[in-house]
A and B are shown apart, each in its own frame.
Chain A
Amino acid sequence: MGDRIARLTALFFACVLVAIVILLVYELLWRSEPARAKFGWKFLTSSEWNPVNEDFGALPFLYGTVVTSVVAMLLSIPLGVGAAIFLAELAPPNVSNGLTFVIELLAAIPSVIYGLLAIFTLVPLMRQYIEPFLKETLGFLPFFQGPAAGVGYLTAGLVLAIMTVPFIISVSRESLLAVPREQREAALALGATRWETTWQIVVPYAKLGILGSIFLGLARALGETMAVTMVIGNVPAVHASLLWPGYTIAAVIANEFAEAGGKIYPSALVELGLVLFGLTIVINGVARMMIVATTKKGSGR
């Protein structure tokens, strides 16, 4: 008897989780209904954002979200995978564990604090030194033209890179550690250098896990709100240059949702939320499939 009650209680609380997700999807669909009915698929391709005329389009935000995340990944993948290789393959276990703990602390820092630091330290640095330098040296490329305002896609991408690196490092390190020892010994015995062993044998073996960690970081970057809102510049426009101010989906919801009046305006913001939700679910799903596939294969150190 007691057992049945305990079992049903546990089952009930597990169902609460399922109910939350169903509720979340339902609210997102229902609250975005007016905007979806009015704009249809055109919502995704229009770059109009005019609360006065109640004309809304998602393109500048989608563009900003994707561009900042891509910039972040371009910086954080080499940095993260490099550090993961060092921690898994080179550093002695004590040092590796200590440094991994420090890196995990980095992941625990609230995003508003990254934003705070970015506003007062990174933005002036970008405006005065880095962006003028980029314009001078790489200004012939379309990516590095326009104003050096300090805020914009590039700065937001840089902050996102710092925020996603810890995720990439900790998951990549795990999958590198899961590569069987024999693989390394065989390569070394054949005369490969340490680096050749790592790059040609160990990394390919852990490939899926590393890719998974990258997708996990990407999902984080796409949905990151506060830090980006504070440095993106908040201008709903599409620019090829990374130096221009822009906007992201999460940032526009954070900035405008509380003040959005009428029926269509909040509904359009919820629809943006729905788009972001769909995007992160897909990326996260891909990441998990990859990570599960590697950890099953590995046998651990």
Chain B
Amino acid sequence: MLARRKFVNAMMLTMTGVCTVITVAVLFLILGALIVNGASSLSWNFFTKLPVPIGETGGGMANAIVGSAQIVGIAALLGIPIGFIAGVYLAEYEDKKFAAVVRYIADLLNGVPSIIVGILGWALLVVPLHGNSALAGSIALSVMLIPIVTRQTEQFLREVPLSLREGALALGASKWKMIATVAVPAGSKGIMTGMILGVARIAGESAPLLFTAGLSQYWGSLTEPTASLPVMIYKLATGPYEEWHQQAWAAGLVLIGMVLTANILARLILARGVSVPRG
């Protein structure tokens, strides 16, 4: 009986370890496959040239790289301030009932499938403007970014000790001055981390861009269809040509490099400790 229990114990504990190993191995398999297949197609042209028609060599994806930067940049300019201030509201100005509603809404928005956010961007900007545009893509991505930044900002402001706030208020600072000069700087590392992670997340999204920013062979602009790295990867990988597949691997490697760098960077910022000791 005891032997059997010991055996079950050893076996099940080993199994949990195996589960962990499998999961972690997947990440390294993904990275390995991307490097093996993508590195050979990465060249200077990839970053500086426009796509060329099938059959010609030497094309690149400069327009998609710039397009991604443009779409994500504008989405960040729109989404970060809104998300940040809404987060400040949730953490600092709690009107019990309404704050609960906003918090619920933020979580709801966080869980909305990205393809549906694409439909919203399409309805708001593609239909009225009669065509795809980088701006429509930015709007869609900012809708995804706002709730992420809101909840992160709220979470890290809540970790700022009450004693710090009380100190500022006791010295005669008004509430908004206390928030701006004490609470936000104290929680700034965490808030920054949240913003970086949020931007990294939307930079990899393709579903909301399919029918908002669309796709283009040329340089995009705010009001014209604009290529982005994730949508390019989708198009190239599902296309019939071997050259396209090679390009897709290379683009995948570039995209994952950016996303993982942002994630590790965010982690390093946070790892150097919260700006103030927890009270």
CB distance from B216 to the nearest CB of A (A): 13
Chain B residues contacting A121 (CB-CB under 8 Å) are 33
Point out the residues of chain A lying under 8 angstroms from B238, CB to CB: 119, 230
Expressed in whole angstroms, the Cα–Cα distance for A237 and B152 within the complex equals 42
Q: Is the CB of A257 within 8 A of B210?
A: yes
- With beta carbons under 8 angstroms apart, the residue of A112, A224, A284 that contacts B230 is A112
In the complex, A103 Cα to B30 Cα: how many Å?
13
Contact in complex: B102, A86 (CB < 8 Å): no
A82 to B206, CA, bound (A): 32
Contact A28 B119 (CB under 8 A): yes
> Across the interface, do B252 and A18 meet the contact criterion of CB distance under 8 Å?
no
B119 close to A79 (CB less than 8 A): no
Q: Are A14 and B102 in contact (CB under 8 A)?
A: yes
Residues of A within 8 A of B5 (CB): 193, 196
In contact, B27 and A250 (Cβ under 8 angstroms):
no
Knowing A3-B176, A27-B120, the reply to whether A11 touches B34 (Cβ < 8 A) is no
Which chain B residue has the least Cβ–Cβ distance from A216?
Answer: B111
Q: Is the CB of B146 within 8 A of A86?
A: no
* Distance of B146 from chain A, by nearest CB (Å): 6
How far apart are A270's CB and chain B's nearest CB, in angstroms?
6
B150 within 8 A of A: yes
Find residues 41-70 in chain B having any chain A CB closer than 8 Å to their own CB.
Answer: none
Within the complex, what minimum Cβ distance (angstroms) separates B15 from chain A? 6
A117 partner, pick from B6, B30, B88, B267, beta carbons under 8 A:
B30
Contact A113 B255 (CB under 8 A): yes
Which of chain A's residues has its CB closest to B102's CB? A14
Chain B CB within 8 A of A195 CB? yes
Q: Distance (Å) between the CB of B230 and the closest chain A CB? A: 5
Residue B147 is within 8 A (CB to CB) of chain A in the complex: yes
Contacting A at CB under 8 A, from B200-251, are 200-201, 203-207, 210-211, 214, 230, 233-234, 237-238, 245, 248-249
Task: Give 1 or 0 for each of A131-168: 1 = CB within 8 Å of chain B CB.
Answer: 00000000000000000000000000000001001100
Contacts A113-B233, A117-B33 given; does A20 touch B109 at CB 8 Å: yes
Total A residues in contact with B, Cβ cutoff 8 Å: 82
A109, B114: Cβ atoms closer than 8 Å: no
Q: List 18 A-B contacts (CB under 8 A).
A: A6-B176, A11-B89, A14-B86, A16-B86, A23-B124, A31-B123, A86-B13, A103-B23, A105-B263, A106-B26, A108-B204, A113-B256, A117-B34, A196-B5, A223-B115, A230-B237, A250-B207, A258-B211
Residues of chain B having any CB pair with chain A under 8 Å: 5-6, 8-9, 12-13, 15-20, 22-24, 26-27, 30, 33-34, 37, 81-82, 85-86, 88-90, 92-93, 98-99, 101-102, 105-109, 111-120, 122-124, 143, 146-147, 150, 174-177, 179, 197, 200-201, 203-207, 210-211, 214, 230, 233-234, 237-238, 245, 248-249, 252, 255-256, 259-260, 263-264, 267
Known interface pairs A28-B119, A193-B9; 18 further A-B residue pairs with C-beta atoms within 8 A, sorted by A's residue number: A14-B85, A16-B86, A17-B102, A24-B143, A27-B120, A90-B13, A105-B264, A106-B30, A108-B260, A109-B259, A110-B206, A112-B206, A116-B249, A199-B12, A219-B111, A257-B118, A280-B113, A285-B108
